[in-house]
C-alpha cells in the first residue's frame, strides 16, 4: 500500500491551503491538500515539510496527525495520512500544481477534491 502524507496548513487568519493538480497529471484539475509520498523511514510530518519546500517553496511547522484514511480505487490502494501544519514562511511558487487558494472551512465545498482527500474535507467542514 502506498503511503502518502497530506498537509492541512493553516495561516494566521485560520484559512486552509489547497492546491489544484496540473492538467495532464493523475487527477489533473482536482483540488487537494498538498503533500506527497513518504520515503522509507520518513515520518508524515517530515514528509510534508520536505514536500511543501520542494513543491511550493514554503516552510511549514508540522503538527499532529489529523487523520488516516485508507483509500482504494482501480489503480492502487493508498493510505493518506493528513497532518495539521502552520504556514511559517516563503512565497508560494508552484511546480506540481497550477493554482492554489487559502480558503475557510466553509468554502471547501465549492471545490472538486481528489477522492482520497474528500474524507478530510468532510471532517474539516464538521469542525472535527
pLDDT category of residue 123 using cuts at 50, 70 and 90: very high
Using DSSP's 3-state secondary structure scheme, residue 34 falls into coil
**Cα–Cα distance measured from residue 126 to residue 115, given in angstroms and rounded to the nearest whole number:** 18
**Per-residue pLDDT averaged across 98-118, rounded?**
96
pTM: 0.93
Q: Dihedral sign for Cα 12, 16, 22, 25, please.
A: positive
* pLDDT at 128 > cutoff 90: no
Mean pLDDT, the chain, rounded, equals 94
Neighbours of 83 (CB within 10 A): 24
* 2-125: CATH architecture: Alpha-Beta Complex (3.90)
Pairing of strands 35-37, 2-10: antiparallel
> What are the two backbone dihedrals, phi and then psi, of residue 106, each rounded to the nearest 5 degrees?
-65, -30
Q: What is the pLDDT of residues 4-30, one digit of tens each?
A: 999 999 999 999 999 999 988 888 899
Q: What is the pLDDT of residues 70-97, one digit of tens each?
A: 998 777 789 999 999 999 999 999 998 9
pLDDT category of residue 1 using cuts at 50, 70 and 90: confident
Amino acid at each position: 500500500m502506498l503511503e502518502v502524507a497530506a498537509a492541512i496548513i493553516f495561516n494566521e487568519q485560520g484559512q486552509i491551503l489547497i492546491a489544484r493538480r496540473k492538467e495532464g497529471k493523475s487527477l489533473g484539475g482536482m483540488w487537494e491538500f498538498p503533500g506527497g509520498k513518504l520515503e522509507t523511514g520518513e515520518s508524515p510530518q517530515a514528509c510534508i515539510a520536505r514536500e511543501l519546500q520542494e513543491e511550493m517553496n514554503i516552510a511549514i511547522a508540522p503538527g499532529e496527525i489529523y487523520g488516516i484514511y485508507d483509500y482504494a480505487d482501480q489503480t492502487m490502494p493508498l493510505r493518506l495520512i493528513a497532518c495539521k501544519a502552520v504556514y511559517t514562511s516563503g512565497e508560494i511558487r508552484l511546480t506540481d500544481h497550477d493554482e492554489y487558494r487559502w480558503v475557510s472551512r466553509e468554502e471547501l465545498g465549492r471545490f472538486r477534491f481528489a477522492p482520497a482527500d474528500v474524507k478530510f474535507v468532510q471532517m474539516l467542514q464538521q469542525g472535527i
